[in-house]
Amino acid sequence: MPDNPTREYDVLCAGLITADHICAPIKRIPPAGALEMTDGIELAIGGCASNVGLDLRRLGRRARIAGRVGDGLLGRHVAQILADAGALCDQITCSDTAATATTMVVNVLGEDRRFIHAAGANTEFTGMEISADVIRRGRILYVGGFGLNAALSGKNVARLFATAREAGVLTVLDVVVGEEEVGPMLAPVLPLTDLFLPNEDEGRTITGLSEPKEQARRFREQGASRVVVTRGDQGALLLDEQRFVSIGVHRVEQVDGTGGGDAFVAGFLHALLEGRDPEDCLRYGAALGASCVRAAGATAGVFHVGELEAFVAANPLQVTALS
């Protein structure tokens, strides 16, 4: 995907924007009425759109954010973090009826993180706030957190992706499985999706298939041009018209898994924007994802571009062909 100097920015990141309250790892979940101490509780930015946008900014990419926040302290806080990082924030709208979405992230030693989420202003973001002109001025349109917000419907995202494809803009879709039934929402979108990035658990819930290879095949059958299924500490696999491959993970000390999947996406897109082949895109995604989980918060530990390049060069991961 060679650079196009006529484009104003690299990636439009549309979807979830949240304020995250993240606790440093605790020894156990306390029983009712009990207290458990932590070394710290941090207020940080979260949500797929803002995480991917911030990670791309660390890699020197031009990122534009589209989403909705509340008209309050938290909304101003997350918008300021994005602006301070150099992201274009003109597509972030403000609600006077809903608070900024908020997530409580509970980390327990030796266990996967837990989330408690209030959807807030994200429920008002439809995607129709984004004009065709804004889409045409980018190189990639990424929609993150699809499935968690019914207002950002399959019909609406299909319209955005159709506009993007007409303009030669790559379409990328990331999902979050919540209370909505995601399968029907995906039906109009996947045939317009150049890159689909579910994780293994999401793939299982959507398709009913336990095997990640079968999940990838199903999503390809449903229209996605390229599918990447991430598998946590088991790595990831990629399926497109020309290849079916898998990659492992970098073994790092995990402090907080929050944002690891979003960092994988950002690393993959960064390599794609450089014109690298899909196998290298997997390597860059795996490296940036590993960097993220070393620190608390969705973006705090993510490599800058020089660190990423050095890490990938020094720690090559093998890509294996699948059948």
Q: What is the mean pLDDT of residues 261-289?
A: 97
Coil, strand, or helix at residue 170? strand
State both tokens at 24. 């440093």
pLDDT at 258: 76
Q: Is the pLDDT of residue 2 over 70?
A: no
Q: Note whether residue 62 is domain-resident.
A: yes
pLDDT tier at 73 (50, 70, 90 boundaries)? very high
Look at the chain and report how many structural domains it folds into. Answer: 1
Q: Note whether residue 4 is domain-resident.
A: no
Q: Is the pLDDT of residue 115 over 90?
A: no
Mention every residue, 6+ apart, whose C-beta is less than 8 A from residue 263: 51, 55, 285, 288, 289, 291, 292, 299, 302
Range of the domain at 153: 11-28+40-312
pLDDT tier at 236 (50, 70, 90 boundaries)? very high
For residue 141, what is the enclosing H or E element? strand 140-146
Q: Note whether residue 179 is domain-resident.
A: yes
Q: Note whether residue 213 is domain-resident.
A: yes
Q: Note whether residue 1 is domain-resident.
A: no
Neighbours of 210 (CB within 10 A): 10
Put the strands of the sheet holding 319-321 in their side by side order: 88-95, 63-70, 11-15, 140-146, 170-175, 195-196, 226-230, 236-239, 244-247, 319-321
Q: Note whether residue 320 is domain-resident.
A: no
Q: Note whether residue 35 is domain-resident.
A: no
β-pairing verdict for 114-118 and 88-95: unpaired
User: What's the first-to-final CA gap in the chain, in angstroms?
Assistant: 27
pTM of this prediction? 0.93
What CATH number is associated with residue 170? 3.40.1190.20
Phi-psi region of 164 (alpha: psi -120 to 50; beta: other; left: phi over 0): alpha
Q: Note whether residue 250 is domain-resident.
A: yes
